[in-house]
Amino acid sequence: MTGWNLQGGEVLRGGVMERADLAINGARIAATAPADARGEDVSGLWLLPGIVDLHGDAIERIIMPRPGISFALDLSLAEADRQMLSNGITTAYHGLTVGWEPGLRSIATARAFVAALRAQAAQLACDTRINIRWEIFALDEMAEVAGWFADLPGAVLSLNDHTTANLGLPATARKIMRMADRSGLSPEGCVAALADVALRAPEVPAAVMQMVQKARAAGLTCFAHDEMTTEERAAHRALGVTVSEFPMTRATAAAARAAQEPVIFGAPNVLRGGSQNNAVAAGPAMRDGLGTVLASDYWYPAPLQAAFLLAHDHGMPFGTAWDCVAANPAAAVGLQDRGRLLPGLRADIIAVCPRSRSVKAVWVAGARKLTLA
C-alpha cells in the first residue's frame, strides 16, 4: 500500500470547504489515489491542512509542571508530541528559551534539550523543530547558541529581552515570582541578578547584530519578540529580522503589515478575549488584518479552537482563519511544501469534526499518526 483515499469529507481548497475525496500517494497529496490506496470514510468531517505552530512553549510546563519538579526530556518531548498531535499540530516549533538565568531557561537546560531532540526527532509524530528564544542579555551563551544554527535545520532565531522588561520590578511582582520558580533563585536574588546583568546593556546592540547575521547566514528565519514600538520594528527590519512575534501595540503590528511582514499573535489571546499582559487583543487585531499567524504560545489546543472562533465571532471566512494556523505560518518560515491541500505538497492532514471542533484523525507526511476516534 502506497497511499490513502480519504472519501466523503469536506476538503479546504481555495479558501472554501468543498465535498471531495482527498488522495495521498506516499508522503504527498496526489491528484488521484494510487491503485493500491487504502480507502478511509471521513464522511461528516472536515479535511484541513495540519497546523504549523511557530511558537509553543507549553513544553516548559511539561518539563517542569511545578517549581523545582522536573521530568526527563525524552518523556517530556514524547508527551508534548502526543498533546500537539491530538490538537492538530503537525509541524511544531518548541519555544526554547536560552537565557542567562539558572534553571529551566539556562544554557545547560537548552543544551540538554537540543541533544534530546536530535536523538528523538525521528520517533516523534510531529515534524518537530526549535524556536530558539535567545535572551539578548545572554551574552556569554552566544557562541554556543550560534554553533547550533548549522545543526538545527529549520530552526528559527527569536530575539527576546525579558531583562529590560523585568528590570526594576519589586520582589513581590508576579513576573519576578515566576522567574524565581523556574530559576531556583529567591525573588530577591532575581531582582539582584537582573540589576547585575543589566549593566552589560552597552554590549547588547552589537551582540544582536552579530547573532542575526550568523542566523541568516545559516538560513534561519529571524523573529523579534514583544516589539514595543514602530521604531523597534524598523530597527529589527534593518538587521534582517523579518517576523514580528507578539507585537505589544497595534501600531507596531500595523507597521509590520505595511511592510508585508508576518505578524504572530498568541491563539490563547483570541480564546480569552484579550492579552494576559494588557498588550494587543489578538481577536480584533486578526480581524482587522494586523496579524497573519496564530501560535499556541502556552496552550496546545489554542490554534485549532482560535481559528474556529475567528470565523464564528470575528466574521472571518473560515478558510482565511485557517490560513492563520497553517498556510501563513508555513510561508513565514519558508516551508513551501505544506500548509495547503494541493497535489504535490506534503500530506500533513487533519480530519476535524466541525460540530465538536475536535481532531479525529491525523496524517503526517502521508502516514496516519492518529486513528479515527
38 found inside a domain: yes
State the cell numbers at 323.
490560513
Both 17 and 110 in a single domain?
A: no
Per the structure, the complete domain to which residue 363 belongs is given by 3-47+353-370
pLDDT value, residue 279: 87
Q: Do 32 and 56 sit in the same domain of this protein?
A: no
CB 24 within 8 A of CB 57: no
Q: Does the pLDDT of residue 161 top 90, yes or no? A: yes
The domain tally of the chain equals 2
Q: What does the alpha-carbon distance between residue 281 and residue 35 come to, in Å, rounded to a whole number? A: 50
User: Does 297 share its domain with 180?
Assistant: yes
Q: Does residue 76 belong to any structural domain of this protein?
A: yes
pLDDT in the model for residue 278: 80
d(CA 188, CA 30): 60
Whether 236 and 254 share a structural domain: yes
pLDDT in tens, 171-199: 999 999 999 999 999 999 999 999 999 99
Q: Within a domain: residue 167?
A: yes
Give the tens place of pLDDT for each residue, 99-108. Answer: 999 999 999 9
Residue pLDDT, tens place only, 202-250: 999 999 999 999 999 999 999 999 999 999 999 999 999 999 999 999 9
Tally of residues, the chain: 373
What are the Cα distances from residue 302, in Å, to 16, 51, 308, 365?
Answer: 22, 11, 10, 23
Question: The domain that contains 176 carries what CATH number?
Answer: 3.20.20.140
Give 44-107 as a DSSP string.
T-EEEEPEEEEEE-THHHHH-SBTTB---HHHHHHHHHHHHHHTTEEEEEEEEEE-SSSGGGSH
Cβ(287)–Cβ(317) under 8 Å? no
Does residue 110 share a domain with residue 149? Answer: yes
Q: What's the mean pLDDT in 327-333? A: 98
Q: Are residues 193 and 318 in the same domain?
A: yes
Element (H, E) at 118: helix 107-120
What pTM did the predictor assign?
Answer: 0.97
Q: Is 166 helix (H, G, I), strand (E, B) or coil?
A: helix
